[in-house]
Structure 1
Amino acid sequence: MQKNQITPAFQGHFQSIGCDQCRNLDDLGFDFTMAFQPIWDVTKARPFAYEALIRGKNGETAADILSQVNDGNRYKFDQACRVKAIELAAGLGLQHLPDCLLSINFLPNAVYRPETCIRATLEAAERFQFPTDRLMFEVTEGERVVDSEHLIGIFAAYRQRGFTTAIDDFGAGYSGLNLLATFQPDILKIDMELTRGINHSASRQAILAGILLTCSHLNIQAIAEGVETADEFAVLNAMGVHLFQGYYFAKPHIEALPTVSVGK
């Protein structure tokens, strides 16, 4: 399947001109904010993107916030996260950084009609004057996708809007290579379980080499997640990775864009 192809099952959805749930985001009953962590491009020595990560207003972890998400508020929470991330990023001036993306995680099982239900995202981008071509949406491999065709439709709709698409935590979730065979994102984020300690693991290096070869053939960019040490970075960089995310570069900062002092 080509990257911009929309599956027939979704053609009918795109005819809809209204989506009340996109406009009616009731109070979730809990509050949250975002921390930002850079994805560093060592070739250009500048941030490729900043990922928006959920945090509580009083320092609660992402797990604490996500524990309050259920089937009844999943959609509203997903939409609220997008708006919050765009609002904060715009206020911090991320859009003024050269070619820097804002990466937002989304819940695939919460996106009912990808073309019509993206209205809140577009309205937030317009309201806060954030360019939509700077938005990247990540779907985590760790969330079981009920309908793979639905996910393909989401990604196709996002690409038509000019958004960058990514699979997060690749290698740690339910589908592995089967997920990648179904559709090809713009970005593949390699899970920390593969990158952590890779300088000591011939098996991890062999697996990563295969993933990078696949990415090369499919014209997909790879990001190494969870990089914490200089030795991990050195091995990954020598293998051809040039996009990195992890504590070695910067920890997430709540409502701030942390700077990077290594890997330059």
Structure 2
Amino acid sequence: MTIPASIRQQTCKDCLSGKDLGFEITMAFQPIIDWKKKEICGYEALVRGTEGQGAGWVFDRINHENRYYFDQACRVKAIETAARLGVDSQLHINFLPNAVYSPETCIRATIEAADLYGFDLTKLVFEVTELEEIVSKSHLQRIFSSYAARGFQTAIDDYGAGFTSHSWLVELRPHILKLDRGMITDLDQSAQMQQEIKKVMQQCELQGTRVLAEGIETQAELETLVRLGVRFMQGYYFAKPGFESLPQVNF
């Protein structure tokens, strides 16, 4: 992946300076639950417009010209806001792998932001969504390896909804695998999907990857996941994302 030097230099310089994207962003936070301990073990930072506009509104404004800075700006804003709100658990941050031209270089603003706002770097989890088409698997592997070497955790988000397959799970070996809500909705009524989740969990257990189910909305879905052995969960059943806030959780 080749990015012009002028863009690389400008991006790194502007990540912490608040360069104007043409619009402003902020974050909402959704709790991640450790059901076994009945406690919050993390929060996912979700990009929003400053007036509460959803992620779709934000991504409609992202293009090739601002993608690199936007990816970095989201990391900085997530860390800044989480630190201000007193988050002391894991912080899940989504990133755009196609916007990372060099893992070693593009992580600098993240480290600087954590140092500036006093956030523990070891609590950062970087999620790549299946919904973004990955240009190069080897590039993503390099990102995951580089982040792991620095002590960060990695996650595949929306598993079952996008580009990845069983082979990607095996080769990328993320710390966390997030089951897409499409696999969770009405799970209690689908024996076939329950078997599919069992297979995924078996592979994850073999390679030491934690399984996290997202998109949980009903008691029946929760009970089915518990029966299948899923420990980590996220969804409206527990709490909707809090706009620039940490919402109360229903256990």
TM range (shorter): over 0.9
Q: Are 1:155 and 2:155 matched, yes or no?
A: no
- Give the structure 2 partner of residue 249 of structure 1: 238
Q: Which has the higher contact order (CA 8 A, sep 6+)?
A: 1
Counterpart position of 2:40: 47
What amino acid does structure 2 have at the position aligned with 1:125?
A: A
Q: Which of residues 97, 101, 123 is equivalent to 1:112?
A: 101
Aligned mates of 2:166, 2:132 — CA distance in 1:
15
Helix, strand or coil for the counterpart of 1:143?
A: coil
Spell out, residue by residue over 1:97-155, the C-alpha distance to the aligned partner (whole angstroms, 9 max, x if none): xxx20000000000011012111000000000001001000000111110111101111
The unaligned stretches of length 5 or more in structure 1 are 1-8, 10-18
SS of the residue aligned with 1:182?
helix
Give yes or no for the alignment of 1:24 onto 2:14.
Answer: yes
Is 1:139 the counterpart of 2:133? The answer is no
The alignment of Structure 1 onto Structure 2 pairs a total of residues equal to 241
Aligned match of 2:223 in 212, 234, 243? Answer: 234
Letter in 1 for 2:24: D
Whole-angstrom CA distance in 2 between matches of 1:126 and 1:59:
28
1:93 aligns with 2:86: yes
Tell me which residue corresponds to 2:203.
Answer: 214
Q: Secondary structure at the match of 1:27?
A: coil
Q: Secondary structure at the match of 2:103?
A: coil
- Which of residues 42, 60, 63 is equivalent to 2:56? 63
Paired with 1:172 and 1:43, the residues of 2 have a C-alpha distance of: 27
What is the TM-score with the length of structure 1 in the denominator? 0.89
| Aligned residues of 2:181 and 2:216 also touching (Cα < 8 A) | yes
Q: In percent, how many aligned pairs have the same letter?
A: 49
Letter in 1 for 2:168: L
Q: Higher helix fraction: Structure 1 or Structure 2?
A: 2
Work out whether 1:125 is the aligned partner of 2:134: no
Partner of 2:5: none
Aligned equivalents of 1:164, 1:182: Cα separation in 2: 16
Letter in 1 for 2:208: N
CA deviations on 1:6-59 (whole Å, 9 max, x unpaired) are: xxx9xxxxxxxxx62312343211111100000100111211110000111112
The DSSP-based 3-state class of the residue aligned with 1:115 is helix
- Name the counterpart of 2:75: 82
State the 1:181 CA deviation.
Answer: 2.8
Distance 1:107 1:191 in 2: 18
Paired with 1:233 and 1:86, the residues of 2 have a C-alpha distance of 30
Please list every run of at least 4 consecutive aligned residues from structure 1 whose deviation after the TM superposition is greater than 2 angstroms.
Answer: none
Residue 258 (structure 1) shift = 1.2
Specify the alignment match of 1:14 in structure 2: none
* Contact 1:135–1:164 (CA under 8 A) maintained in structure 2: yes
**Residues 176-216 of structure 1 deviation map (CA, whole Å, 9 limit, x = unaligned):** 22321321000000001111100000111010110111111
Match of 1:225 among 199, 211, 214: 214
* Aligned twin of 1:171: 160
Whether the aligned pair in 2 keeps the contact of 1:22 and 1:118 (CA below 8 Å) is: no
Consecutive unaligned residues in structure 2, runs of 5 or more: 2-7
Report the Cα distance in structure 2 between the residues aligned to 1:163 and 1:55, rounded to whole angstroms.
24
